[in-house]
């Protein structure tokens, strides 16, 4: 299913965590949040996720990762098997296992918008290089650094990769990756948002100057809001976890939200609560506490 309908703003100001509202859904980022730095899911976290779903709380993995990088958590999706990937660009069913993930919803970046974003950011930040993330393909410019696990399908200028007659043009574009070799990451993000404006949504999840450019209005928060609306789940019934700027909108939307102990300052400011770092199983700590509260009542 392709979903390009405009979504109303999925952000609101955070307040005090409301422990009185029983949670129905846990939305957690992966890298720097659920996963330890070695990219493992700790036994404690595995047990906490299983206990949450056994208690009737749905768990959604909400990540900037593409679907093909989801094998690290495929064994832990339990009942529903859905994950939000690409910063909200896709909802993916992980039940098929490695290499067989099924796209349930795609909220793509129109090629005209992508080309405009590339041009505008090239002008604003000379030296920017790009990669193009599609549903099943990954392409990059020749000077784009080796930042990812796979070998690109095609190496060519972004303007060529995004043409209507480019290889893989029939596949939707999920996001553009933009890297700058010298700019400060937060400076680069602010510059790109100003330059690109409403042509696309720009965020970042990497500690380096690597930006992620998605369709207008496409974010973790807006896609999570769509998934929750389909289930009749209100924001107040959602508990969210994150650590980087691409989590900010999701954390402000959710009724209860937690910044990791290792979180970016913007994330700490956006969340309604805080937990310990990812390497200390911060997500599991909060889930265990929530389930304990339910048993006490």
Contact of 224 with 253, CB cutoff 8 Å: yes
- How far is it, in rounded angstroms, from Cα 82 to Cα 92? 6
pLDDT, one tens digit per residue, over 133-150 is: 998 889 999 999 988 777
The token duo for 23 is 């949670």
Nearest 5°: the CA angle 190, 192, 197 is 100
CA–CA distance from 284 to each of 43, 155, 179, 297 (Å)? 10, 41, 33, 20
Domain boundaries in the chain?
Answer: 25-107+219-296, 111-214
- pLDDT, one tens digit per residue, over 68-94 is 877 767 666 555 578 999 999 999 988
pTM of the complete model:
0.89
pLDDT(264) > 50: yes
Distance of CA 180 to the CA centre of its chain: 21
Q: Say if 25-107+219-296 and 111-214 have the same CATH topology.
A: no
Across residues 254-269, what is the average pLDDT? 97
Which contiguous run of DSSP H or E holds residue 105? strand 102-106
Q: Give the count of beta carbons closer than 10 Å to the beta carbon of residue 82.
A: 20
What pLDDT is attached to residue 246? 97
Cα dihedral 146, 147, 153, 155, rounded to 10, equals: -50
Q: Is the pLDDT of residue 255 over 90?
A: yes
Please report the pLDDT score of residue 77 as a whole number: 55
CA angle, residues 62, 218, 35, in degrees to nearest 5:
20
Average pLDDT on 14-34 reads 79
Helices (H), the chain: 43-54, 111-124, 158-161, 185-196, 220-231, 248-253, 265-270, 282-296
Give, in order, the Cα–Cα distances in Å from 181 to each of 128, 193, 286.
Answer: 8, 18, 37
Question: CB–CB of 262/280 below 8 Å?
Answer: no
Predicted pLDDT at 9? 36
Average pLDDT, the chain: 89
pLDDT at 14 over 50: no
Q: What is the DSSP letter of 198?
A: G
The full DSSP string for 121-144 is: HHHHSTT-EEEEEESS-EEE-TT-
Alpha carbons within 13 A on the beta-carbon side of 244: 26
Q: Is the pLDDT at 296 greater than 70, yes or no?
A: no
- Fold entry, domain 25-107+219-296: Rossmann fold (3.40.50)
pLDDT recorded at residue 70: 78
Element (H, E) at 62: strand 58-62
CATH value of 111-214 in 3.30.1240.10, 3.30.2130.30, 3.30.70.1280, 3.30.300.30: 3.30.1240.10
> Confidence class of residue 8 from pLDDT cuts 50, 70 and 90?
very low
Lowest mean pLDDT among 5-9, 184-188, 240-244: 5-9
- Per-residue DSSP letters for 210-252? EEEEESTT-SHHHHHHHHHHHHT--GGGEEEEE-SGGGHHHHH
Q: Is the pLDDT of residue 42 over 50?
A: yes
d(CA 60, CA 70): 12
The distance between the two most distant Cα atoms of the chain, rounded to a whole number of Å, is 61
pLDDT in tens, 92-101: 988 766 566 7
pLDDT (mean) for 239-261? 98
pLDDT for 60 equals: 92
**CA–CA separation, 221 and 232 (whole Å):** 16
Give residue 79's pLDDT.
53
pLDDT exceeds cutoff 80 at 285: yes
Number of Cβ atoms within 10 Å of the Cβ of 141: 20
CA R_g for the chain = 18
Q: How many CB atoms are closer than 10 A to CB 95?
A: 14
Query: For the chain, what percent of residues have pLDDT higher than 70?
Result: 88
- Start-to-end CA distance of the chain, whole Å, equals 41
């Amino acid at each position: 299913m392709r979903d390009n309908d405009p979504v109303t703003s999925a952000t609101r100001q955070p307040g005090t965590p409301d422990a009185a509202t029983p949670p129905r859904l846990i939305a957690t980022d992966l890298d720097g949040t659920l996963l330890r730095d070695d990219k493992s899911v700790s036994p404690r976290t595995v047990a906490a996720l299983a206990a949450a779903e056994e208690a009737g709380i749905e768990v959604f993995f909400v990540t900037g990762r593409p679907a093909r990088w989801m094998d690290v958590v495929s064994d832990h999706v339990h009942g529903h098997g859905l994950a939000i990937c690409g910063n909200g660009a896709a909802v993916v069913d992980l039940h098929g296992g490695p290499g067989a993930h099924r796209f349930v919803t795609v909220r793509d970046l129109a090629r005209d918008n992508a080309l405009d974003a590339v041009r505008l950011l090239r002008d604003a930040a000379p030296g920017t290089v790009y990669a193009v993330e599609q549903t099943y393909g990954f392409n990059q410019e020749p000077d784009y650094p080796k930042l990812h696990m796979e070998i690109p399908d095609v190496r060519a200028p972004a303007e060529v990769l995004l043409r209507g007659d480019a290889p893989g043009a029939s596949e939707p574009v999920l996001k553009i990756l933009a890297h700058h070799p010298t700019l400060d990451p937060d400076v680069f993000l602010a510059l790109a948002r100003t330059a690109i404006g409403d042509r696309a949504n720009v965020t970042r999840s990497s500690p380096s100057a690597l930006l992620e450019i998605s369709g207008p209005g496409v974010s973790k928060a807006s896609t999570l809001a769509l998934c929750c609306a389909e289930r009749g789940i209100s924001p107040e019934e959602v508990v969210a976890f994150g650590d980087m700027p691409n989590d900010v909108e999701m954390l402000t939307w959710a009724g209860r939200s937690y910044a990791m102990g290792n979180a970016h300052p913007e994330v700490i400011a956006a969340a309604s609560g805080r937990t310990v770092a990812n390497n200390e199983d911060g997500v599991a700590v909060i889930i265990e506490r929530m389930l304990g509260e339910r048993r006490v009542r």
